Structure 1
Amino acid sequence: MTTDFQQAREALGRRLRELRAGTTQRALAAVLGWPQAKVSKLETGRQTATPDDLKAWAAATGNPQVAEELVTRLQGLEARTRSWRRQLSSGHRPVQDVLMVEYEQSTVLRAWQGAMVVGLLQTPDYARHVFARFAELQQSPRDVEDAVRARMRRQELLYRPGRTFHILLSEAALHAGVAPPDVLAAQLDRLASVIGLDSVRLGIIPLTAPLAIPPGNGFWLYDDRLAIVEEWHAELWLNDGDNVALYGRVWETLDQSAVYGTQARRLIARARAHFSDLA
């Protein structure tokens, strides 16, 4: 969890504690029908409130007029850190639709992914296995087919003029066994085919390449206005200039270790040969 996020959550907790003044935690918990531990966690920033929690708190403390203020604070907090639990409450499809908006608003998109093939270049079968595994992990609704269709529609942007995609993958991502060998082989064929697209610049970082910095989690940069970073518990949506510039420097540094064109094709072919032997 980011320091900025935690500080914002603690600030919201202090505001809740101010509203409780004159009432004990136990008494407020009884009115709300909550465990006292929940009241304590919300006030100390150890748990993130929901909009309904905040509205109930405002009413129970005799301050219904501040409900909108509290929810606005929460929205500001969530605009930066978007938990997977909340994002996936209705499945993967809505998440794909939100990302489509950001893609359409951007002209230069850069990505780094060291663990698997990025969604924009996935085949339907590969995407199907990825969505199914993440739905199981996050215990979210399994709208796999709807999510796959939404992801495939986003790939249409590869063939529309006006956008360029600069994508970096680790060689390890080519070998990640997130699907059966035949699906992985077809996925690698797909990767090889996009190298010739005018809109895509695909770089692969070899396993043996010297690295100026250790590669971290995957992220996307949308022009110079937004960075979306993937964590296990959440996505970080960063739109302040300093953080976007930082991830830009990370991307440029990783790019110095990547190979392109014929060399990238060789790495893809080597991975494909491995999975062809297993299929």
Structure 2
Amino acid sequence: MDRAQLGEALRELRKASGKEAKAVARGALMSASKLSRIENARLMAGAGDVERILTAIGVSDEVKAEYAEAAREAATEATAWRLLKRAGVHKGQQAAKALEAQMSVLRLFQPALVPGLLQTPEYIRAVLRRHDLTETSLERTIAGRLERQAVLYESSKELRFVITEPVLRWRIVPPAMLAAQLDRIVSMSRLTNVHVSVVPLLAEQRDIANHAFVIRDDRMVTVETVHAEMVVTDPRDVALYSDKFRRFEHTALAGDEMRCFLEGIRDEFLREQDSRWIPPSIG
């Protein structure tokens, strides 16, 4: 049951009870305008909201439990990676592209990998190979991710990335490719609508870098776990992720300081690559 279906069901239950919206809202300890937004699917009702509304309506405990569970499921939807793979991983890129076309502001926190929108083709290939895709599916997915990167050049959109220092050093490609990947991040950070921040390991932290997440327009959060992709829409939960993003962004390096930091790590990789070069023998 999605937000629209839940709101419609609550409205029909209220009407069937014969109670006015104002009376139900008062009994549910919320404003009439909030009840209206929930019923018309303009606001996602939390499980607590649903329970209070149904208590005010006067339904049975069984009905309350059923709809409260529906509210929890609607607020957080999870799709297992195995199901996405079965449907075609490249279709996930198409879905992400559609979401990015509709949004105005994207905020992405990444403690494990370079964000997909900033990845080089070589880095993308290395990331996707862990999914055991067919060569055709791999190529289509790489192409789809590269197409998505066009959003970086849309000046009407604001894109904010916060990544942690280990992301820059994670060796999923050879040193020379990592150096090129860091150059790519530096280059993209110079776009006026793209903001890249890096949390250095030496920065004092009061938060935990649990996992990656993407916030779109303060409406939706996408969370990637080991087994599934989760979509969070409950405003209270979205706010938790927004606060977490702000805390990490506050401790991160940005602008020229960030670029200098990345260039220092890039130079480390280039020196390492050069040290492996063996000159040809003479004579």
TM-score of the superposed pair, with normalisation by structure 2: 0.68
State the partner residue of 1:276. 270
Residues 88 and 141 of structure 1 are in contact (CA less than 8 Å); yes or no, is this contact kept in structure 2? no
State the partner residue of 1:159. 153
Q: Is 1:121 aligned to residue 115 of structure 2? A: no
Q: Is 1:184 aligned to residue 181 of structure 2? A: no
Distance in 2 between residues matched to 1:239 and 1:105, nearest whole Å: 16
Deviation at 1:141, TM superposition (A): 4.4
| 4+ residue runs over 3 A deviation | 76-79
Residues 177 and 184 of structure 1 are in contact (CA less than 8 Å); yes or no, is this contact kept in structure 2? yes
Deviation at 1:160, TM superposition (A): 1.6
Mapping of residues 82-231 of structure 1, within 5 Å: 82-133=79-130, 135-136=131-132, 140-142=133-135, 143-231=137-225
Secondary structure (helix, strand or coil) at the match of 2:215 reads: strand
Secondary structure (helix, strand or coil) at the match of 2:221 reads: strand
State the partner residue of 1:41. none
State the partner residue of 2:250. 256
Residues 92 and 131 of structure 1 are in contact (CA less than 8 Å); yes or no, is this contact kept in structure 2? no
Residues 90 and 141 of structure 1 are in contact (CA less than 8 Å); yes or no, is this contact kept in structure 2? no
Distance in 2 between residues matched to 1:117 and 1:79, nearest whole Å: 25
Number of positions where the alignment pairs a residue of Structure 1 with one of Structure 2? 201
> C-alpha deviations, 1:146-193, integer Å up to 9, x for none?
111111111101112310001001011000101122211110110111
Residues 91 and 141 of structure 1 are in contact (CA less than 8 Å); yes or no, is this contact kept in structure 2? no
State the partner residue of 1:29. none
Deviation at 1:79, TM superposition (A): 6.7
Secondary structure (helix, strand or coil) at the match of 1:80 reads: strand
Distance in 2 between residues matched to 1:181 and 1:147, nearest whole Å: 24
Runs of 5+ unmatched residues, structure 1: 1-72
Runs of 5+ unmatched residues, structure 2: 1-69, 274-283
State the partner residue of 1:40. none
Distance in 1 between residues matched to 2:83 and 2:109, nearest whole Å: 24
Amino acid at match of 2:141: A
Distance in 2 between residues matched to 1:271 and 1:148, nearest whole Å: 26
Residues 80 and 238 of structure 1 are in contact (CA less than 8 Å); yes or no, is this contact kept in structure 2? yes
Distance in 2 between residues matched to 1:251 and 1:263, nearest whole Å: 20
